[in-house]
Amino acid sequence: MTFIDESIFRIEPIVKHGWFLKGSKPSCPVNWSRGKECVFGALNFENGGKLISKQAKKINSKTFIEFTQLLMRDIGSFILVMDNAPWHTSRKAAGFLEEVRDCVEPLHLPPYSPELNPVEPHWKAVRSNLANRLFENTSELKKSLKKALDGVQLDINKQRYLTS
């Protein structure tokens, strides 16, 4: 069973915590850029539960299909558990999933239930690794994001996700 999810990481700083002098007025520098990086993530419990990720410029049906093809090369046959995002349910994606039905069996989570997807805690950990930093440009964000994605290791309770 392979769980899939997507997330967008913006160049804007993620302010999580900080120490400030009492009575001071904290400020956060920004660079006013609208840069972002989109990430596809998949978690397969049979492959040790390591997050498989791919950065992309956009999230759409085309990039979803490309990521699914990458998973097919890495994993082989699997059940693809996903939410009901428009790029998962589009005609293009549905047609692709029908074509590869012999090795990818799609399974949709109930609407508005991110707590059922074990990829979600990974996004939280990655955001925490990127917190309190100002990125000068998108290439700096991409490098830091790749490092954070490679370094995230969570001990996900398989039983909880497979029996809920």
Ordered structural domains, the chain, with CATH: 2-11+32-163 (3.30.420.10)
pLDDT given for residue 158 in this prediction: 64
User: Closest Cα to residue 68, out of 149, 114, 3?
Assistant: 3
Could you tell me if 43 and 122 are in contact, meaning their C-beta atoms sit under 8 angstroms apart?
A: yes
Question: Does the pLDDT of residue 53 top 60, yes or no?
Answer: yes
pTM of the model: 0.84
Query: Residues 153, 14, 59, 88: is their CA dihedral positive or negative?
Result: positive
pLDDT given for residue 34 in this prediction: 79
List all residues 6 or more positions away from 20 whose beta carbon is below 8 Å from its beta carbon. Answer: 26
Question: Does the pLDDT of residue 27 top 80, yes or no?
Answer: no
Question: Does the pLDDT of residue 6 top 60, yes or no?
Answer: yes
pLDDT one-digit tens code per residue, 55-69? 999 999 999 999 999
pLDDT given for residue 163 in this prediction: 61
Quick one: what percent of the chain has pLDDT higher than 90?
58
Question: Does the pLDDT of residue 162 top 70, yes or no?
Answer: no
Q: Which two tokens stand for residue 55?
A: 């950065």
pLDDT given for residue 164 in this prediction: 55
pLDDT given for residue 1 in this prediction: 87
Strands laid side by side in the 104-108 sheet: 51-56, 36-44, 2-10, 78-82, 104-108
Could you tell me if 135 and 116 are in contact, meaning their C-beta atoms sit under 8 angstroms apart?
A: no
Average pLDDT over the chain, rounded to an integer: 88
pLDDT one-digit tens code per residue, 89-144? 999 999 999 999 999 999 999 998 998 999 999 999 999 989 888 888 889 999 99
Q: How far is CA 86 from the centre of its chain?
A: 16
